[in-house]
């Protein structure tokens, strides 16, 4: 009995579906272990994505490590800020090149021949740390939503308030993000054009004064006056979303959204004029996202709008775009400009100096919020940092919760100079 050529060819080619160590069937278990590790690092991975990951590996196979990493990254990572964490975790799991043909078997923490990883990111360190052993008889608890009051003691809370945002683990980062949303930011106020009734003022409110005189038989007992209203300075915020600012950008966006969305002056709620832009290799307008009332919804919308997250930094080109397309966002010379960046600019210093000089002429103050001030001996020696330092009216630290709480008083003192 002869065999058809198609059948012979099919038997000669190994089936794509047999991945990993097929004899012991560890594919599903090892892939699930990798997914759990990603979730511990804060990467949003669910059962549907894990199923897509298994299908992707069936298509690309295990011949090349780069193909495996690219396939898993394509289906398991949906946020730009998670890409660096995924790649570091992937390298930690598949560090040994001699076992490249058994990549999925390497996903087990006890895989033979796996080198001890030394990840740099706190999210990766926490994800790769062994889980705490449960006491005998205690049942496993399902994943719960983190509660700040229940999870943090007084000493741990004090430590988090002074901890650098870049050194936080994934769970600590979530707690600190909730903390920063409760920090107020009372901005300096100026006299507005509109007036209101008050006890002081150069102008007399004649209608109110005459109505009071009618109630007292025509005698003017009290002179009612008009005084100018107080309103916060218009705010223009430029947030650096480059790779070096990855851990700070999301927290500071959440802080600025919550802090500037509930401004009160004299017991009255004031609508603050605020324009927010993200910059990396390009300028992105986030003002529409900041008009959303919910901070989480704002972060989601901002994530969709920002296309150059974790890229380079070109503040000069971004300011040139601001000058060409959004010059009306600057209200005379009254706008307070906040530049949130570490100053590690990769553009031309001459362009940056020229655009910052223009911005100074059209704003009231330029304040540089620099996370690198966490280092006591920090000096702006980089080319972009040196230019920004000369142009800014002040440089303030924003690397932990304590510094954010001191930000309002620091801004007020700089505005008085």
- Structure-derived torsion over alpha carbons of residues 276, 355, 249, 299, reported in degrees to the nearest 10: 30
**One domain, residues 224 and 278:** no
Distance CA 371, CA 262 (A): 25
- Structure-derived torsion over alpha carbons of residues 192, 395, 410, 358, reported in degrees to the nearest 10: -10
Least confident range of 11-15, 55-59, 382-386: 11-15
Least confident range of 29-43, 107-121, 153-167: 107-121
| DSSP-based three-state secondary structure for 136 | coil
Range of the domain at 154: 148-179
| 335 in a structural domain | yes
**One domain, residues 347 and 317:** yes
- Name the more confident of 265 and 283: 283
Q: Which two tokens stand for residue 315?
A: 């503040």
**Confidence band, pLDDT 50/70/90 cuts, at residue 204:** confident
**Confidence band, pLDDT 50/70/90 cuts, at residue 27:** low
**One domain, residues 282 and 241:** yes
* 334, 234 contact by CB (below 8 A): yes
**One domain, residues 47 and 162:** no
**One domain, residues 206 and 88:** no
**One domain, residues 194 and 101:** no
**One domain, residues 100 and 244:** no
- Give the number of domains in the chain: 4
The pLDDT assigned to 317 comes to 95
Distance CA 53, CA 49 (A): 6
**One domain, residues 174 and 302:** no
Report in angstroms the alpha-carbon separations of 302 from 185, 308, 312, 400, 412: 21, 12, 18, 22, 29
| 206 in a structural domain | yes
Number of H helices, E strands in the chain: 18, 11
> Mean pLDDT score of the chain, rounded to an integer?
78
Q: What percent of the chain has pLDDT over 90?
A: 31
The pLDDT assigned to 33 comes to 79
The pLDDT assigned to 263 comes to 62
**One domain, residues 314 and 373:** yes
Q: Which two tokens stand for residue 185?
A: 């930011």
End-to-end CA distance of the chain: 99
Let me know the angle formed at the C-alpha of 102 by 99 and 103, rounded to the nearest 5 degrees: 90
| 297 in a structural domain | yes
Q: What percent of the chain has pLDDT over 70?
A: 74
Which pTM does this prediction carry?
0.63
């Amino acid at each position: 009995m002869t065999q058809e050529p198609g059948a012979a060819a099919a038997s000669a080619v190994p089936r794509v579906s047999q991945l990993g160590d097929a004899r012991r069937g560890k594919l599903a278990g090892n892939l699930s272990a990798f997914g759990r590790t990603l979730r511990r690092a804060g990467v949003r991975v669910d059962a549907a994505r894990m199923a897509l990951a298994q299908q992707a590996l069936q298509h690309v196979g295990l011949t090349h490590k780069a193909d495996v990493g690219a396939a898993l990254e394509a289906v398991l990572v949906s946020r730009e800020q998670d890409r660096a964490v995924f790649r570091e975790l992937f390298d930690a799991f598949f560090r040994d090149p001699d076992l490249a043909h058994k990549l999925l078997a390497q996903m087990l923490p006890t895989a033979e021949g796996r080198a001890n990883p030394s990840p740099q990111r706190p999210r990766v360190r926490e994800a790769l740390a062994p889980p705490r052993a449960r006491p005998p008889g205690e049942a496993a608890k399902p994943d719960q939503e983190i509660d700040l009051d229940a999870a943090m003691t007084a000493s741990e809370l004090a430590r988090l308030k002074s901890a650098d945002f870049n050194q936080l683990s994934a769970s600590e980062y979530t707690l600190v993000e909730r903390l920063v949303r409760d920090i107020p930011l009372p901005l300096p106020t100026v006299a507005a054009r509109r007036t209101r009734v008050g006890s002081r003022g150069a102008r007399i409110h004649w209608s109110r004064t005459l109505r009071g005189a009618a109630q007292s038989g025509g005698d003017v007992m009290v002179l009612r006056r008009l005084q100018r209203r107080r309103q916060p300075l218009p705010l223009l915020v430029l947030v650096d979303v480059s790779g070096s600012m990855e851990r700070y950008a999301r927290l500071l966006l959440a802080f600025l959204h919550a802090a500037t969305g509930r401004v009160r002056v004299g017991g009255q709620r004031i609508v603050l004029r605020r324009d927010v832009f993200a910059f990396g290799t390009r300028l992105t307008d986030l003002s529409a996202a900041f008009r959303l009332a919910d901070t989480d919804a704002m972060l989601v919308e901002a994530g969709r709008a920002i296309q150059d997250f974790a890229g380079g930094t070109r503040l000069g080109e971004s300011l040139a775009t601001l000058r060409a397309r959004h010059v009306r966002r600057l209200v005379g010379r009254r706008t307070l400009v906040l530049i949130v960046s570490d100053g590690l600019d990769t553009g031309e210093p001459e362009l940056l100096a020229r655009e910052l000089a223009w911005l100074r002429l059209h704003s009231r103050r330029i304040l540089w919020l620099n996370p690198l001030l966490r280092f006591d001996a920090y000096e702006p020696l980089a080319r972009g940092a040196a230019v920004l330092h000369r142009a800014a009216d002040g440089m303030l630290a924003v690397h932990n919760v304590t510094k954010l709480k001191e930000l309002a008083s620091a801004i007020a003192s700089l505005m008085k100079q």
